[in-house]
Amino acid sequence: MKSYLAAAIQMTSLPDLHKNLVQAEELIELAVRRGSELVALPENFSFLGEEEQKLAQVQAIAQESEKFLKTMAQRFQVTILGGGFPVPAGHDKVYNTALLVDPNGQELCRYEKVHLFDVNLPDGNTYQESGTVLAGLQLPPVYPSKDLGNLGLSVCYDVRFPELYRHLSQMGAEVLFVPAAFTAYTGKDHWQVLVQARAIENTCYVIAPAQTGQHYSLRYTHGHAMIVDPWGVVMSDAGDKPGVAIAAIEPSRLEQVRRQMPSLQHRVFV
């Protein structure tokens, strides 16, 4: 693992596949111009609209999203995580799929989100992700990259389930992805503290791209894409507008924190 710059992209995705991919390309290019070698896009980067609209267009969304990720990775010669897009799963359901692609445009690994967001919030909004999404059945993978470190995948609501990240750290993860479309209501109280907690308890870097603003109807997201170091320090925060959070991933910092706070070695219940 070498020292390098990583980027957590922040978008306001809409119910418009083409517009979203144009926005994503602009932000990827911005991240690359600033020196990023690893770029992560948020959950729902290619489409964020009503569930009926998503299902009606799912074949196109899935095909265009995967093609886009591979094209961007090749064009800009970077590793890219597409943090979540729908892939047909049959029976009018989709998998919420995260895809990691290398600079040659080759798929490295993928993860189908296992924890689905079925929640009634006090602000009057109800979310029923399981209505259209089929939960994945496999624990998320850790991809071992010689240059970028061991990369662990997750998606959004997963961040509330620490056992998933403990699995990733046990598998050797050094950098954790938490691509999200966190609601504005929950995000203001929970987003940053949850991302920091996952970094601290696993002594890992966390790259957390995010959605922000109003997407359609009453769907608002919190923003604050961020990159957090293994001590829990927020190194970069994109605020509440579309943009990019960029920070250095330093192997020496990872080693320092794990040496000073060797909690992973002190686990009693494994």
Task: Specify the CATH architecture of the domain 4-266.
Answer: 4-Layer Sandwich (3.60)
Question: Does 201 qualify as catalytic in the annotation?
Answer: no
Using an 8 Å Cβ cutoff, are 102 and 115 in contact? Answer: no
Distance of CA 107 to the CA centre of its chain: 16
Q: In the prediction, which pLDDT does 270 show? A: 80
Catalytic site residue from 43, 64, 66, 174:
43
Q: How confident is the model at residue 123 (pLDDT cuts 50, 70, 90)?
A: confident
Question: Does 113 qualify as catalytic in the annotation?
Answer: yes
Q: In the prediction, which pLDDT does 90 show? A: 87
Non-local CB neighbours of 182 within 8 Å, separated by 6+ positions: 156, 190, 191, 210, 211, 221, 222
Q: In the prediction, which pLDDT does 241 show? A: 98
Over residues 133-189, the pLDDT tens digits come to 999 999 999 999 999 999 999 999 999 999 999 999 999 999 999 999 999 999 999
Question: Does 156 qualify as catalytic in the annotation?
Answer: yes
Catalytic site residue from 64, 66, 112, 113:
113
Over residues 72-90, the pLDDT tens digits come to 999 999 999 999 999 999 8
Catalytic site residue from 66, 70, 156, 174:
156
Over residues 203-248, the pLDDT tens digits come to 999 999 999 999 998 899 999 999 999 999 999 999 999 999 999 9
Q: Return the closest-CA partner of residue 202 out of 261, 129, 153, 143.
A: 261
Tell me the torsion sign for CA atoms 257, 261, 266, 269: negative
Q: How confident is the model at residue 125 (pLDDT cuts 50, 70, 90)?
A: confident
Q: In the prediction, which pLDDT does 218 show? A: 85
